[in-house]
Structure 1
Amino acid sequence: MKKEDLFKEIGLIDENLIEAAGHNGTEKKKKGISKKWVILVACLVLYSSTASALLATEYYKNQNSEPYIRYLNAEDMELEPATQYDAEKFLHALKSDNNEYVYIAINRLVESFNDPTLRVKALKQLQPFIKNENQKIADAAAFAVDILSKSYRSPYIVKLADGSMIFTLFNNYSDYGSQNVIWRIKDNVLKEYLSFSAPSMYITKIIPSPNHKLIAIVTCSNKSNFVQISNIEEGMTSPELIESARVKYGAQKELDTWIRNDHENYSYADNLVWKDNDTLVFEGSLAYQNTEIIENVTVKYQFSKKIIEVKEKGL
């Protein structure tokens, strides 16, 4: 039923209500009014159901046109079962009418970097997607082409002092961040350099030191932040700094500091700044007793000496 018909039906009911009032509310008119109310309710139900169906259709349409991936699992990444990397499978997936498959395939094709033939083939097929009307697909294609063409102009690429480059794939695919894997190109060879296990599900920031010898890496779950410093060239990584800060500050303030089995810390980091080539400073919001107590602090970590300082914010 159209909305106009529904309003017309309401108008009839209003007239009957007036007429019934003018005849002292006889039983006959009461029954007439009751019948009209039944019609009204039925129309409202029909109109509501139709509207809900249209909204649901539009929702699923948008889900396909604007791929939203909450978390990348192994099955998502492969599109179908596979025992090793298969570039041809991802090239074929570019023809899919499922934008989520296309998006995954574009990112995975970066992994064909080391094979000259596949790299050229992927480049040719990825070029048209740079102008795709879907911004997430267009951005992914632009990044993939930047890597495969060896242009290296993307702001997502961190160039290090040793001449190597690091980056993530699936950049900002989720509201939380990028894929939790760091890739490295050194001596014209692409390798997976570092990956993070749960609860570090997403990479949110990679911040190089001023001399680009160290990087600060911020990862997160949907509950917590985690911070580590890595010397890529020498293959050394600091302890996780937020949990380290929680333990140290808890001891200083005589707070119970329980370490959860799932390693969530319910704490957060903000305003990360390199004070020099060796020292990282950031603000932390540290949780204790299941978030009953929140302590706002400043954390300073000196990488070479493995020294962490935690102070109440403002002191």
Structure 2
Amino acid sequence: MSTSNDFTEANVPQQTGKAFIVTGANAGVGFEIARVLAAKGARVLLGCREQARAQDAIARIKRITPNADLVWLPLDLGDLDSVRTAAEIAAHEPRIDALINNAGVMNPPLMRTKQGFELQFGVNHLGVFALTNLLLPKLAETSGSRVVVTSSVAHLKAKIDWDDLNADTSYVKAKRYGASKLANALFFFELDRRLRAAKSPITAIGVHPGIAATSLGRHMGLAQLAGPIVGLVLNSADKGAWPALLAATGKVKPGGYYGPTGFCGVRGTAGEAERARHAEDPVLAKRLWEVSVAMTGVDSGLPPV
């Protein structure tokens, strides 16, 4: 296993006999994660909302790896009922070695989840919180299992508006995105603390993909930039997958945070990444955990540290 700050998909060891859940696996970084894991012999459950897009992704991967073991896992992180059903389906798998929480939304206009939560906080954090906690019993069946939570460089200067979590008073989409990514960082930090205190066999790790050209082009109006120019500055989807692949299959520290190690943490090979000091605040992390339990109704029973 690669232990230095130069991890790429070439460093992913053989994964035969292992099984992974990858959310948002039909496109972008999630697709690349699934592609690599399948090529390494893993069974991959593609957590996606739409069957047609999931099946298209499966067909694309099978053109590269004909014997790939792939299956669609119906999952809408914006609907807690769907999250519960997905966890129930996954629990019937013989084993789950890692849950890779990759899916998310970025900078949409004000929208709400099925349960009425602000969409970015609801999908990026609450859906991830619920899915992860529902799957902990299954993950605990496999020694060395992992939970990977995707944050973002956007968390570094973000703040959570505790008095307006649901954006009932105000909504600035970029600030809400940053807040949801700070929530991701606080979540894996607190999850790691609780898992270790409980002597769980599960390891929690955080990652970020840098700034991938795919997501920026779709959400921030940069799609018109020439590909070579984007490639000089931003990460591509396949390279954006490297931190998650490191976290899921490489040698990592429990509670560690990994991302691109090149230009300003935006692109390059994967290794340890910078996180904001307030993303490691145990008081904030505990508060978020308790609020998340109350909002989702999902409680894994992991005791506070």
Fold match (TM-score > 0.5): no
> Which structure is richer in relative contact order (CA contacts within 8 A, separation 6 or more)?
2
- Bigger CA radius of gyration: 1
Q: Structure 2-normalised TM-score? A: 0.23
Q: Structure 1-normalised TM-score? A: 0.23
Normalized per residue, which structure has more helix?
Answer: 2
Normalized per residue, which structure has more strand?
Answer: 1
